[in-house]
Amino acid sequence: MLHVFLFYSSSVILKVLTEAAKKHPKLSVIIVDSRPKFEGREMLRKLMRSCPTLSCSYVFINSISYVMPLATKVLVGAYAVLANGHVMSRIGTAQVASMAKTYNVPFLVCCETYKFASRMQTDSYVSNELGDSKQLMNINNRAGPLSDIASRPNLHVLNICYDVTPPDYVTGLITETAVIPCTSAPVVIRVKQQYNIVNMKPYA
């Protein structure tokens, strides 16, 4: 039986699983979700609408050490694939990749080649996006247990949106052209740049 481990919501993965469910009736999906956006809930709704017979499980990210041994592969999307082979994706992806590496579960990133970026980055604190800090303080739009300390002047609450996964944790990048390793990212970027130069239209 094929057990696919998912993290957060991705339109590419939704299409992949919709097609896979038609060919593999024994396919099952484990959707892992996390605060503050709970994108996995929407992924679960879309999967159940498109594949009503698909077997799905829904857990939070603090349970990945228990459900990872059940998975045969992990599928995640990506915000960008950087020139040094690192994968920038939704916060928590690096944690999932680390757990998959521990249990020797293939970690696959579904990413179109237009998301390959020429910049380099090795951590989550440079060139990142910050979300609303109230999302971490509140639970379901109501005051949470940490909301009373948010007003302290010496406390800075950072809601980091993305993290960076090292290429050693990634088994392969699934693109529209082929399944490639992270080490091929510079080649894809170079080919894209050459293609853009050749097809660049001159100014009138």
* Residue 96 resides in a domain: yes
pLDDT in tens, 137-182: 766 666 666 667 767 778 777 778 888 999 999 999 988 888 989 8
* Residue 157 resides in a domain: no
* Residue 153 resides in a domain: no
* Residue 148 resides in a domain: no
- Note if the bond before 106 is cis, omega within 30 degrees: no
Give the CATH number for residue 94: 3.40.50.10470
Q: Is the dihedral of CA 46, 49, 54, 58 positive or negative?
A: positive
- Across the range 183-201, mean pLDDT stands at 73
pLDDT of residue 203: 42
pLDDT of residue 168: 93
Q: Structurally, how many domains does the chain consist of?
A: 1
pLDDT of residue 169: 94
- Domain coverage including residue 113: 3-118+165-198
Candidates 164, 151, 172; CA nearest to 74 is: 172
**HSE-up of 133 (CA within 13 Å, CB side)?**
9
pLDDT of residue 144: 65
How large is the C-alpha radius of gyration of the chain? 19
* Residue 13 resides in a domain: yes
* Residue 87 resides in a domain: yes
pLDDT of residue 204: 43
**Which of the pair, 68 or 200, is modelled with greater confidence?**
68
* Residue 142 resides in a domain: no
pLDDT in tens, 75-103: 898 888 998 889 998 888 999 999 999 99
> Do residues 72 and 2 touch, judged by C-beta distance below 8 A?
yes
* Residue 131 resides in a domain: no
pTM attached to this predicted model: 0.81
What is the pLDDT of the chain when averaged over all its residues? Answer: 81
pLDDT of residue 139: 66
